[in-house]
């Protein structure tokens, strides 16, 4: 929140308009840890956004789970949704987030996207390395008396 | 009424209650059958009008532990409703075992216990009889384990990886 | 404006009611919490909170990290006033271990927790203003918050997640630079506070949206276990700083701020008034910091000794060895204690069970946001949809603390 407020003022870089509906957005900033109750919601938000769209994973907790290596925290959102830019730090300083947005603007300048078609080449559809290391479990074991 | 007098009066009336003291905090270990009666008496007669917290401890690997779960009621006498101007705290503990993980709800005494009991149910699987709406509160409804039990691993049992993957091509 | 309240059963039977899903990603909720609202036109007939969208197992982590490591996790609990959480956690641990802090440490912890209270209240009132349309108010509040961040950054190196306290003391002693920054803040902050009050206190839009909305009576507040500014705005005069003085609070002259109305405006007003009292406490404390060490004596074997102590004294060497070696550490009784502080949001307490080693067997947190959010359906029933954000803002719900 401080990024948008008085001192750091993200508006200087032309990236400030917060929209309350995912259908009007083109950038999703995942700030903070994502837990398993939130992840389906997050995926739904991502699917509701129109192309072209980008995602910033802000902070160690969103990128890797951070210190929260527990039963409920997803260990990195890039296992389940595509991520364009990672911001280190827990939490990152506002300057880091601003830098990430500038870098993302730079990336879009270089790579471009109109319809997301350039992402549909087979080389981009490879699963992430982190996913190859860890098997996706389809049937969690049911435990407990109830 | 001083805390000491209250505790003495209670232990005389209910001989099954064990009293202990540590760092100036008075605890009462109450048999499960007497728990609701005692809590009601504490609220209505002795003026413990504030339920500060309600939580549970799983004594699975604890040294010298006999019982599995210990429910903890942290009560405070704020003296606000009766205008006595006092401030006392009392901890009431109730032991439970796997054979009967049930206890009467105290939502009738302190409405604020509603969510606290739901959380204890969510995390430990203890059922509060008479609770108006006993559902999971923090974890999703389809979750099966009780994570704060000591036999539940910190990293969980794979629930956190069990989601579909969305790639760039989709969506 | 009291309105006819429909009971829940009646609400279910009325099929003209419209169900609205609010959150969990709606920006007005600030963080991730979800409300299922039953609406009759624009009136909220019933609200069903659905929480847990940020539940990350804090209490489970507390059973695996030692007392000094867990303080980093408490930072992330109520992330708008992490210092207060640090103080609360280590106060509980020190109660369990029976450690008496040095006078200097008590003063320093008092100062940082009061600064944390100011920064928390700035955010909560600022965000409250933002939600009801007072954007300038929010910018004023955030500018002052950055100054408190600056103070914390010079004190402990981190701007946001401080992890400042340690068992038996603190990470660093307070430095002259920090003292100077705090003095500077004390000099200039009242002016901004006056400006902020002038901006909205008599602003018709702000007052109309806050007054009479979300009324919590005194009896309901006590029955619902409310604490802190939420309870004090309803006429509950309980403040742990006065009722059960901890740290150095008994040395200072300050007042407990209360209101009778119990509505959103009263909660806003209590917070604004508390900031002034916090300023008084800090200005008294900063001029009277006792001399002496900040950590407890080496003989207690809880706080890490300084490097000269380690190299020049045998007690220092032994203490350092005992604390640093993995299989050593504190001697902790097999006991359990509860200790609470008056955090900015209300009574923040930890119930710690010791099990011989320096890892807590159970680290239960009593989160004020959790308790206050359970009061929310009662507060919003009968008001309009636009009042939802006003009531949410006035309760100051922090999802990380709510869900843990």
> Do the beta carbons of residue A120 and residue A69 sit within 8 Å?
no
pLDDT at A12: 66
Q: What residues form DSSP beta bridges with C365?
A: C350
Question: How far does the CA of residue A35 sit from the closest CA of chain C (Å)?
Answer: 6
Read off the pLDDT band of B166 (50, 70, 90).
confident
CA C9 from centre of chain: 36
Residues of B in contact with C355 (CB under 8 A): 62-63
> Do the beta carbons of residue A37 and residue B139 sit within 8 Å?
yes
Q: Is the pLDDT of residue C273 over 80?
A: yes
| Coil vs helix vs strand at C186 | helix
Q: Does residue C119 share a domain with residue C21? A: no
Identify which of C55, C60, C139 has the shortest CB distance to residue A6.
C139
Torsion on CA atoms A39, B151, C354, B116, rounded to nearest 10: 50
Between residues C33 and B116, which one has the greater pLDDT? B116
Q: Is A66 left (phi over 0), alpha (psi -120 to 50) or beta?
A: left
Q: Does residue C115 share a domain with residue C27? A: no
Read off the pLDDT band of A114 (50, 70, 90).
low
Selection from B54, A28, B138 nearest residue C225 by Cα:
B54
Alpha-carbon Rg for chain A in angstroms: 17
Report the pLDDT averaged over residues B33-49. 84
> Do the beta carbons of residue B77 and residue B46 sit within 8 Å?
yes
Q: Does residue C25 share a domain with residue C99? A: no
Contacts of C46 (CB under 8 A, 6+ apart): C6, C8, C11, C37, C38, C377, C381
Residue C380 forms part of a structural domain: yes
Residue C7 forms part of a structural domain: no
Chain C contact present for A37, CB below 8 A: yes
Read off the pLDDT band of C10 (50, 70, 90).
low
Residue C80 forms part of a structural domain: yes
Rounded to whole angstroms, the Cα distance separating C148 from C81 reads: 11
Average pLDDT value over all residues in chain A: 72
pLDDT at C118: 92
pLDDT at A142: 52
Residues of B in contact with A61 (CB under 8 A): none
Q: Does residue C175 share a domain with residue C308? A: yes
CA distances in angstroms from C134 to A2, A42, C119, C373, C388, listed in the order given: 17, 30, 18, 24, 16
- Domain of residue C158, CATH code: 1.10.645.10
Question: How far does the CA of residue C289 sit from the closest CA of chain B (Å)?
Answer: 27
Domains of chain B, each with CATH number or no CATH: 3-157 (3.30.460.80)
Q: Does residue C21 share a domain with residue C81? A: no
Residue C1 forms part of a structural domain: no
Q: What is the pTM of this model?
A: 0.85
Rounded to whole angstroms, the Cα distance separating C161 from C158 reads: 6
> pLDDT, tens digit, for every residue of C376-400?
888 888 888 888 888 888 888 888 8
Read off the pLDDT band of C131 (50, 70, 90).
confident
Q: Does residue C152 share a domain with residue C31? A: no
> pLDDT, tens digit, for every residue of C34-43?
888 888 888 8
Report the pLDDT averaged over residues C281-306. 83
If one counts the domains in chain C, the total is: 2
Burial class (CB in 10 A: 0-12, 13-18, 19+), A105: middle
| Coil vs helix vs strand at C358 | strand
**Domain ranges, residue C38:** 12-50
End-to-end CA distance of chain C: 35
Q: Does residue C34 share a domain with residue C147? A: no
Contacts of C108 (CB under 8 A, 6+ apart): C170, C173, C174, C289, C294
Read off the pLDDT band of C11 (50, 70, 90).
low
Report the pLDDT averaged over residues A74-98. 83
> pLDDT, tens digit, for every residue of A21-31?
777 778 888 87
Q: State the CB neighbour count (10 A cutoff) for residue A16.
A: 12
pLDDT at C110: 92
Peptide bond into C230 cis (omega under 30): no
pLDDT at A139: 56
Q: Angle at which helices C176-200 and C135-156 pack, to 10 degrees? A: 170
Q: Does residue C133 share a domain with residue C17? A: no
Selection from B24, B42, B27 nearest residue B90 by Cα:
B27
pLDDT at A130: 45
Q: Is the pLDDT of residue A137 over 80?
A: no
Q: Does residue C170 share a domain with residue C102? A: yes
Which strands form B25-30's sheet, in the order they lie side by side?
B18-22, B25-30, B88-96, B69-77, B50-58
Residue C5 forms part of a structural domain: no
Record: contact B144-A73, CB cut-off 8 A: no
| Interface residues on B facing A, Cβ-Cβ cutoff 8 A | 101, 125, 139-140, 144-147, 152-171
Residue C222 forms part of a structural domain: yes
> pLDDT, tens digit, for every residue of C329-360?
777 888 889 998 988 988 888 999 988 888 88
Q: Does residue C116 share a domain with residue C84? A: yes
Q: Does residue C316 share a domain with residue C295? A: yes
> Do the beta carbons of residue B69 and residue B96 sit within 8 Å?
yes
Residue C265 forms part of a structural domain: yes
> Do the beta carbons of residue C99 and residue C168 sit within 8 Å?
yes
> pLDDT, tens digit, for every residue of B123-164?
888 898 888 888 888 888 888 888 888 888 888 777 777 788
pLDDT at C114: 92
Q: Is the pLDDT of residue B83 over 60?
A: no
> pLDDT, tens digit, for every residue of C310-323?
888 888 888 888 77
Residues of B in contact with C226 (CB under 8 A): 112
Q: Does residue C16 share a domain with residue C155? A: no
Selection from C192, A19, C382, C375 nearest residue C394 by Cα:
C375
> pLDDT, tens digit, for every residue of A25-67?
788 888 778 888 888 888 888 888 877 788 888 888 888 887 8
Report the pLDDT averaged over residues B60-64. 84
Q: Of all residues in chain C, what percent carry a pLDDT higher than 70?
A: 94
Record: contact C225-B22, CB cut-off 8 A: no
């Amino acid at each position: 929140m401080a990024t948008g407020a008085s001192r750091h003022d993200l508006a200087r870089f032309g990236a400030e308009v917060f929209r309350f509906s995912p259908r009007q957005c083109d950038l999703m900033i995942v700030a903070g840890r994502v837990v398993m109750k939130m992840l389906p919601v997050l995926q739904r938000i991502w699917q509701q956004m129109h192309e072209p769209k980008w995602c910033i994973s802000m902070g160690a907790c969103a990128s890797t789970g951070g210190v929260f290596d527990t039963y409920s925290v997803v260990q990195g959102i890039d296992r389940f949704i595509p991520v364009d830019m990672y911001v280190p730090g827990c939490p990152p300083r506002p300057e880091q987030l601003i830098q990430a947005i500038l870098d993302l603007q730079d990336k879009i300048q270089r790579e471009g996207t109109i319809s997301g078609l350039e992402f549909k080449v087979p080389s981009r559809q490879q699963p992430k390395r982190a996913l190859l290391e860890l098997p996706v479990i389809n049937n969690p074991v049911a435990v407990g008396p109830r | 009424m001083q805390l000491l007098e209250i505790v003495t009066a209670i232990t005389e009336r209910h001989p099954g209650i064990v009293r202990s003291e540590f760092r100036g905090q008075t605890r009462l270990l109450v048999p499960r059958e007497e728990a609701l009666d005692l809590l009601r008496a504490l609220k209505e007669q002795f003026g413990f009008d504030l339920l500060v917290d309600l939580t549970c401890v799983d004594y699975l690997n604890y040294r010298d532990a006999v019982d599995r779960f210990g429910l903890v009621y942290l009560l405070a006498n704020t003296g606000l409703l009766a205008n006595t101007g006092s401030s006392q705290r009392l901890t009431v503990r109730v032991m439970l075992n796997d054979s009967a993980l049930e206890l009467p709800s105290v939502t009738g005494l302190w409405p604020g216990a509603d969510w606290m009991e739901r959380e204890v149910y969510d995390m430990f699987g203890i059922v509060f009889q008479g609770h108006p709406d006993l559902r999971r509160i923090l974890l999703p409804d389809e979750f099966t384990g009780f994570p704060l039990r000591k036999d539940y691993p910190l990293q969980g049992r794979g629930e956190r990886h069990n989601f579909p993957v969305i790639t760039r091509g989709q969506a | 404006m009291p309105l006819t309240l429909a009971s829940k059963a009646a609400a279910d039977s009325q099929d003209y009611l419209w169900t609205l899903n609010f959150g969990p990603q709606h920006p007005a909720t600030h963080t991730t919490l979800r409300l299922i609202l039953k609406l009759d036109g624009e009136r909220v007939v019933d609200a069903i909170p659905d929480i847990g969208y940020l539940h990350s197992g804090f209490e489970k982590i507390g059973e695996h990290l030692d007392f000094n490591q867990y303080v980093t996790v408490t930072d992330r609990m109520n992330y708008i006033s992490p210092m207060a959480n640090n103080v609360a956690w280590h106060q509980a641990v020190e109660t369990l271990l029976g450690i008496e802090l040095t006078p200097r440490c008590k003063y320093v912890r008092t100062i940082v927790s009061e600064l944390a209270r100011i920064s928390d209240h700035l955010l909560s009132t600022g965000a409250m203003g933002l939600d009801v349309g007072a954007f300038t108010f929010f910018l004023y509040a955030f500018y002052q918050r950055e100054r408190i961040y600056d103070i914390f950054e010079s004190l402990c190196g981190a701007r946001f997640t401080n992890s400042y306290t340690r068992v038996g003391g603190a990470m660093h002693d307070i430095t002259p630079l920090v003292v100077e920054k705090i003095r500077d803040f004390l000099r200039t902050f009242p002016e901004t506070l006056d400006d902020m009050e002038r901006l909205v206190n008599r602003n018709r839009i702000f007052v109309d949206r806050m007054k009479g909305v979300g009324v919590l009576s005194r009896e309901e507040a006590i029955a619902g276990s409310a604490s802190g500014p939420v309870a004090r705005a309803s006429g509950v005069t309980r403040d742990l700083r006065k009722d059960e003085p901890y740290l150095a609070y008994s040395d200072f002259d300050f007042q407990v701020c209360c209101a009778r109305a119990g509505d959103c405006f009263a909660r806003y007003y209590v917070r604004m008034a508390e900031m002034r009292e916090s300023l008084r406490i800090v200005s008294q404390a900063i001029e009277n910091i006792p001399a002496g060490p900040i950590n407890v004596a080496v003989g207690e074997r809880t706080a890490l000794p300084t490097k000269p102590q380690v190299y020049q004294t045998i007690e220092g060497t032994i203490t350092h060895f005992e604390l640093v070696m993995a299989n050593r550490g504190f001697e902790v009784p097999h006991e359990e204690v509860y200790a609470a502080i008056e955090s900015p949001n209300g009574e923040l307490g930890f119930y710690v069970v010791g099990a011989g080693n320096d890892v807590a067997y159970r680290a239960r947190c009593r989160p004020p946001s959790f308790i206050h959010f359970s009061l929310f359906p009662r507060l919003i029933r009968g008001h309009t949809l636009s009042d939802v954000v006003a009531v949410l803002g006035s309760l100051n719900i922090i999802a990380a603390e709510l869900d843990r």
